[in-house]
Chains A and B, each alone.
Chain A
Amino acid sequence: DAKTTQPPSMDCAEGRAANLPCNHSTISGNEYVYWYRQIHSQGPQYIIHGLKNNETNEMASLIITEDRKSSTLILPHATLRDTAVYYCIVRPNTGGFKTIFGAGTRLFVKA
């Protein structure tokens, strides 16, 4: 499975957009990019996933570069409740059952 690189921590002002980068330069053609987050003392929460097109749902937007070597998760209007560890994961579409979590980015949303 491809590995991902994320900054260990980021700050964001409440009400502003939070842009969380992820590098996955060794991603294969059949691997999806998934994002999860984990708020303190809770189980991880699925946010969004994509293959090559940009995706948007009620929680966030996912922008994947054309070469698919990196992606950005965008929380359009961050709130204090978005303070969490955000995990970027790549996993294949076929074969394999594993979801391997990296170290993630600790996002602090400040008032």
Chain B
Amino acid sequence: DTEVTQTPKHLVMGMTNKKSLKCEQHMGHRAMYWYKQKAKKPPELMFVYSYEKLSINESVPSRFSPECPNSSLLNLHLHALQPEDSALYLCASSQVARGPLNEQYFGPGTRLTVT
């Protein structure tokens, strides 16, 4: 199974709402990632988890809060977002975060619209 699943596929939320994005993989990977992608732009790294510990936070605003409950699950909690946060949010995983076994497997993404 080389699949990374993300739920929901689409999400519309108001600026005062709290919502969560979910990502799951069952490949035994120990590194998981969140990326943000605006239209016609490349993905931008947000967070990296390695062995369930947060390793990189790319200066992401605190209204985005990642959580890695176990090695298979990655959540992104959203609170008080702005309309400019509307984007495709991609989750990825890799065997490890460093070294040549770093090829990442991406999920299909959650398309988020903030109204």
B and A form one assembly: yes
Q: Interface residues, chain A, CB within 8 Å of chain B?
A: 32, 34, 36, 38, 42-46, 49, 51, 85, 87, 91, 93-104
- Within the complex, the shortest CB–CB distance from B81 to chain A, in Å, comes to 21
Question: Which residues on A sit within 8 Å (CB–CB) of B43?
Answer: 38, 44, 101
B90 touches A32 (CB 8 A): no
Question: Which residues on A sit within 8 Å (CB–CB) of B103?
Answer: 34, 46, 49
Bound CA–CA A72/B90 (angstroms)? 27
B98 touches A96 (CB 8 A): yes
Interface residues of B in 29-52 (CB under 8 A from A): 31, 33, 42-45, 48, 50
Question: Which residues on A sit within 8 Å (CB–CB) of B100?
Answer: 32, 49, 51, 93
A95 touches B98 (CB 8 A): yes
Q: Name the residue on A nearest B58 (C-beta).
A: A98
Contact digits for B90-115, partner A, Cβ 8 Å, 1 yes 0 no: 10100001111011111111000000
Bound CA–CA A42/B4 (angstroms)? 12
- Within the complex, the shortest CB–CB distance from B10 to chain A, in Å, comes to 11
Bound CA–CA A2/B37 (angstroms)? 21
Bound CA–CA A98/B58 (angstroms)? 10
A102 touches B108 (CB 8 A): no
Bound CA–CA A40/B92 (angstroms)? 17
Q: Name the residue on B nearest A32 (C-beta).
A: B100
Q: Cβ of B55 < 8 Å from any Cβ of A?
A: yes
Bound CA–CA A36/B103 (angstroms)? 9
- Within the complex, the shortest CB–CB distance from B100 to chain A, in Å, comes to 6
Question: Which residues on B sit within 8 Å (CB–CB) of A93?
Answer: 98-100
Interface residues of B in 44-89 (CB under 8 A from A): 44-45, 48, 50, 55-56
- Within the complex, the shortest CB–CB distance from A70 to chain B, in Å, comes to 20
B92 touches A43 (CB 8 A): yes
A45, A94, A97, A103: the one within 8 Å of B106 (CB): A45
A43 touches B42 (CB 8 A): no
